[in-house]
Structures are given as structure tokens and as C-alpha cells.
Structure 1
């Protein structure tokens, strides 16, 4: 079974750790891109903050990549 990962501003993603998600805090665009590239193997779902999703754009649509979910604003 795959895992869950959350990427974005620390205050918006830190709670996902309590549910067992891998949390990759990132506030600056380069941090967001690095977090996306360094997500652990086997991650099937990535929760993104709206700001992180805006930085990544269509990169989240890579074939065979994880399902991406954007938190509401």
C-alpha cells in the first residue's frame, strides 16, 4: 500500500503528520519544487496547499505520478 505526502506551508501541512503522512514543509518556490522531486517512493497521494500547487503547475500531472489533491483556500 502506498503512502500519503503533504507539501506546502508548514502551518497548513503539519497536522497531516498525525495521520501518518510524510510532511515536506516548503514555503519558497524552489523548496516546493525540491519537495516534489524528493517525495518518497511509493507515495500514491500528495496533498498540496494552494500556493504549492500554483508553483508546481502541470508537473503534478506526470504520467504514472501520484494523485494530487489541493487543499481549499
Structure 2
């Protein structure tokens, strides 16, 4: 089964756990890059906060991603 992962600031991503997403809190750019690098092959979609998207940069194109509005 494919999973959805959410990466970004703790306060913005915590609630996604209730929907069954894999939540990877990342309050810094370094933490967002580390969370991205830790994604398993079972993750089909990644939801990013704008800050996390900025940190991940062009690597976001490696997977299906959605960026939350600011």
C-alpha cells in the first residue's frame, strides 16, 4: 500500500497524522532535507509546507508533491 508523507513545520503538519499520513516534522531547512532523504519507496505522495518545499528545492520533482498554501 502506498503512503502519503507530510514534511514541514510541526504546527502545520501534526494534524495530518489523524488522516493516516506519515508525518515528518521539520522546523529547519536541514531537518526538511533530512526528512526528504528518509522517505521510503512506499511513499507515493509528499505534502510539503512552503518552507519545506524551499528547503527540498528541485528534488521535489523526484516524487509526486503538493505544496500547501502559505
Which aligned segments of 4 or more residues in structure 1 are displaced greater than 3 angstroms?
none
Does residue 69 in structure 1 map to residue 66 in structure 2? Answer: yes
Residue 39 (structure 1) aligned with residue 36 (structure 2): no
Q: TM-score, normalised by structure 1?
A: 0.90
Task: Report the aligned-residue RMSD.
Answer: 0.9
* 1:58 aligned residue: 58
CA distance in 2, matches of 1:47, 1:55: 13
Q: How many residues align?
A: 70
In the alignment, structure 1 segments of 5+ residues that lack a partner are none
State the shift of 1:41 in Å: 2.5
Unaligned runs of 5+ in 2: none
Q: Give the aligned partner of residue 19 of structure 1.
A: 19
> With structure 2 as the length reference, what TM-score do the two structures score?
0.94
